[in-house]
A and B are shown apart, each in its own frame.
Chain A
Amino acid sequence: MIWGVVILFTCLVLGFPIYLGLLAGGLYILVIAYHIPVDMVVIGLYDGVAKFTLLAVPYFLLAGALMENSSISRRLVDCTVPWLVRVRGGFPIAGIIANEIFGAISGSSAAATATIGRVMFPEITKTNGERFALGLLTSAGALAIIMPPSINMILFATATNVSIGALFLAGVVPAAILGGCLAVYIFLVSPRPDVSQRFDLKVAVHKTIQGLSALSFPIVILGGIYTGIFTPTEAGAFSAVYAFLLPAVLYRELGWKQIVSSIKDTTRLSAQIFILIASSTVFSQALTVARVPDMLVPLVGDLGQFWFLVILNLVLLIVGCFFDPTSAVLVLAPVVAPIANALGIDLLHLGIVFTINLAIGMFTPPFGLNLFVMQSIFKKRLEEIARAIPPFFGVFLVALVIITYFPQLYLWLPRIWLGHTGQ
């Protein structure tokens, strides 16, 4: 068994595709170490992806890609900024709010970073300096995978058999806590607003009305899920169609070219994610056959919840530095979930801890999609962006501690709304 893990790590270090490492390691354990017919791998490669709930992944990816090609972000920013012109740190705080709302539409952190970043970078640079703007926009994009809908939550829920809807609902308050922590930090370090800026109620209301079509999006999608109009998977399909109709029919800004490029982006991303889903299915089944979760439970069981969560956070933060959240969730969730279960940790709580840690991984160097996005849009060197990250990393860590150790702050929502009973 240990050799299977060694093979996986060797493949990862050598820069092989992650799925190849998972397959090689899984095949070694199943076929060579445990003499199981290789058919199990073939069947697993099909079965791992042929799941109705996983349809939500391409749906939400398509919705995100379509929105990226539209002016939805611009509209979201336009309707938050005018309300906050007299507030200390008003512009960056508006950026946080826009990120939260964008996150409530899209599950893609990189898309949030790219689109909100483009819109807000010049303005925040003017008020708070370039370094601050880089750090804020690179990190705040991560809110999109904490605020539902979220691809990582779908993958976590599918891997551990919890309800996607319940996990989505559990993510709302943590996203707000993170946004709150960021807003407080921004407020403390920002200069007073420019006296020439005046709050104009008329402009604010007018802009908000103009943005209503964009604001209606999260209400329709999330409202639809929680009033029982549709399941999360159906909401995904609805969301993709909505994200097409809004810019195509209402704003008239979506041409054939944008549509085709959105479709291409989605098939590419889906292909990247699903080959990982398939191969991590094989790998985690190999670990199950090798009885790894059963061996880990007594080892970690003596730790107790507190220290288990400390170690889990450290491991996930380190993993997040080097890997994309997709592979991390797919490989680690099936191994960690039985341990958490044995320790009496609600799987929704575990799912949120996973999501926040890996969201942080989106902007921690050396590997983080948000970093690459900022790098390519604003033509900055990675080191320059990396230097801007630490204070925001600190703010995220504070929020992470709160969210890890006070799950009652957010678990009440799925409990009351969906009667979620834990485990």
Chain B
Amino acid sequence: MSSALKLTRSLMRVLDNVSGFLLVVITVMGFLNVVMRYLFARPIAWMEEMTVLSMVWMVYLSQGMLESENSQLRMTVVSRLFGPKLQFLVNTIRTALTLFIFGYLLISGCGVITNNYNFKTCTQALGFPIWIAFLALPVTFIIIMIPRILDPAVKYGDEPPVVNCEKGGS
């Protein structure tokens, strides 16, 4: 595995740790909101908003790790039968598609953010600027693209399915 790839993986792990921290934060805030409602008969609307914002960042910051480990949910029944050459071709197409879609979305995402910035749109309760909340998207688009750029044939991404199914699934 190339060192650049190793470096990205550690970066993605760091982001995943941030996401773990956010999980603790949203859990504590969610719990506090119930307590506050009963103790003070006063739920905190901004806390609800803050929790949702943190959740969005939480679920998006881990996408880089999923992409670098190739552990998103997918159907492998058919693709398991592919020979190495066909698999290489298919993976390359996948990389091209990923880069095309997220590159395209990245450009448009910047437009959406600028628009929200210009019109100063905010969340209702907290008055939190929407454009900051939306920053989660371009960040995600970039961290999804990096592993594919460095590892276009998805050579190092394949973990055995059992690993993430052990604790997995709904």
Contacts and interface: CB of A to CB of B under 8 A. Distances in A.
A and B touching (Cβ–Cβ under 8 A): yes
A233 B169 CA distance: 19
B43 to A, nearest CB: 9
Most buried by A among B76, B77, B82, B98: B77
A372 interface: yes
A121 to B, nearest CB: 15
B16 A17 contact: no
Interface stretch (A53-61, A405-413, A415-423): A53-61
Contacts of B169: 108-110, 269, 324, 326, 362, 369
Given A12-B75, A42-B108, A270 B59 contact: yes
B1 interface: no
A46 B136 CA distance: 8
B122 interface: no
User: In which size bucket is the chain A interface?
Assistant: 35 or more
B30 A272 contact: no
A318 to B, nearest CB: 12
Interface string A24-54: 1001000000000111011101100111101
Nearest to A261: B167
A92 B161 CA distance: 29
User: In which size bucket is the chain B interface?
Assistant: 35 or more
A51 B90 CA distance: 35
A17 B74 contact: yes
A414 interface: no
A327 B90 CA distance: 22
Interface string B16-28: 1001100110110
Given A42-B112, A237-B30, A267 B19 contact: yes
Interface string B122-149: 0000000000011011000000000000
B66 A42 contact: no
Nearest to B43: A234
A243 B65 CA distance: 27
Contacts of B9: none
Interface string A99-111: 0000000011111
Given A52-B52, A145-B170, A269-B168, A323 B58 contact: no
Given A50-B53, A275-B59, A326-B170, A15 B78 contact: yes
19 contacts: A14-B94, A17-B73, A50-B52, A55-B26, A68-B167, A110-B166, A110-B169, A237-B26, A237-B27, A237-B31, A263-B20, A264-B16, A267-B59, A269-B167, A272-B72, A275-B59, A324-B73, A326-B73, A376-B165
